[in-house]
Each structure stands twice: as structure tokens, then as C-alpha cells.
Amino acid sequence: MIDPAKAFRLDGKTALVTGGTRGIGRAIAEAYAAAGASVCVLARKQDELDETEQALRAIGADVAVYAGSAGDPEAIEAAVALCRDRLGRLDVLVNNAAANPTFGPLIKIEPRAISKVLEVNVVGPLLLSQHAWRAWMHDNGGTIVNITSTGGLHAAPGLGMYNVSKAAIAHMTKQLALELGPKVRVNAIAPGLVKTDFARVLYESAEEQIASAYPTRRLGVPDDIAGAALFLASDASSWMTGEVVLVDGGSLLV
């Protein structure tokens, strides 16, 4: 019989969360810390990392932070090494960081923007998974949680390149789940429109109108995604791998 008091705990485990200083990544880092995990955060801005470190320590977590881009191979290698060496292990990897430097038709996107989106949104998560596998998970097992998007499941105007990258992450999740089992489980979350600074331009001028079409009648908040991320990292989801979990307020129903 499952014990609810223990099934969602992460005591004794260490998680690396990319983009963990704000929005969805921050909510996931805080949820993991509250569930007993040590947390390593990879993000670009040192001042935000410093504030996040203090906040996670206040929750009671052991914390390590690294300033760098989740699309930079050197930063990726260094962050994984820091997590393993400072915190002793690497049980959970959350590939959350993403970039979207362009808006417009896919057919018109400049090569530089294409490269940036793919570097952060696709290549980075794969490199992080590779390094986590070599540094810890190959011998000790673990879980990988990828943050994709409902945009990776259907076409939408203006966000074509971003959505292509998120579709790639959804497929990468299934491919890695096939390759890394049974030692490592790999799942993804596909959020709908969540109220973050990253997505503000998509909702700030018409939030009520957009939300009124959802069965839940509201947009998402970061904690909505953090709950799913905790489930996928915990023993409560121990027989799940290769899945893309929709957390979208029912938006795809309409």
C-alpha cells in the first residue's frame, strides 16, 4: 500500500534544476526543497542565483548554484560537476530553461535565432542528460523531467521555432526513456499558458478573455507545474517513463 506521507518525498536526493531562479523553474526548485531534496540551480544571472540560494536555504535545503547558460556546454559540464561534488549526488535532472528570442512566421526566422533556440531548448537538455548519466545516473539511477509545452503538440502562429524545439523535447523524452531504462525514468510536462515573466507578452493584454475559454477558467501559475514535477521525480510515479503529461487547464480541449 502506498504511503502518502512518503511517496512524494525526495529526502536524501539531489536535484539539478535549470532556469531555477524564476517562474516554473523556481517553483520546482522550491517544491523539491520542501520535499527534502538538496537542490542545484543553473541559471544565467548571479544576483538571481544569490537570492534563490537564500530562499531555498530558508526552506531547509542544501543548495549549490552555478551562473551560466543552459545552452553552453562548458557551463553544463561545470554545473553537473558542482552538483555531484558539492551535494554528493545527482538523482533528478529538470531541464526547464528555455529561450525564445524571436516571434513570427517560421519561414522568416533568421539563422542566428534558429541556432539560439535549438542551443538552449534542445541541445542543452540533451547535453545535460548525457552529463548527468555519466556523472551519476549510469551507476545509481535517477529521473529526468523535461519541460516541453502544449505548443510542441500543435501548430500556432508566431511561436513556430519555439514550438518546433518543444516538439523535439517531447520526442527526446521518449527516446531517452527507451534508451536509459530501467535505471533512469524520463518524463516530460507540457504546460499550457502559465503566468510567468517569460510568457507575459502572450497573456497580459487579454488574460480574462483567454482564461474564459479554458474549462478551469484560469491560466496556470508556476506551482501548477511544480506539483506535476514533484510527482514525476518521486516514487509516486515509479512505473511511469516516456510520458508527456499535459498540465494546461484543459486548453487543448478547446
- 162 has catalytic annotation: yes
Compute φ and ψ for 196, nearest 5 degrees: -130, 165
The whole-angstrom separation of Cα 156 and Cα 234 is 33
Compute φ and ψ for 102, nearest 5 degrees: -140, 155
> Which residues lie closer than 8 Å to 107 by C-beta, 6 or more apart?
none
Of the listed 66, 162, 203, 214, which one is catalytic?
A: 162
Q: Which three cell numbers stand for residue 91?
A: 538523482
Is the Cβ–Cβ distance between 145 and 232 less than 8 Å? yes
* Cα distances (Å, whole numbers) of residue 14 to 33, 91, 139, 207: 9, 5, 15, 36
The whole-angstrom separation of Cα 14 and Cα 40 is 7
The whole-angstrom separation of Cα 152 and Cα 117 is 13
Strands 184-191 and 244-247: parallel
Catalytic residues, by residue number, are 162
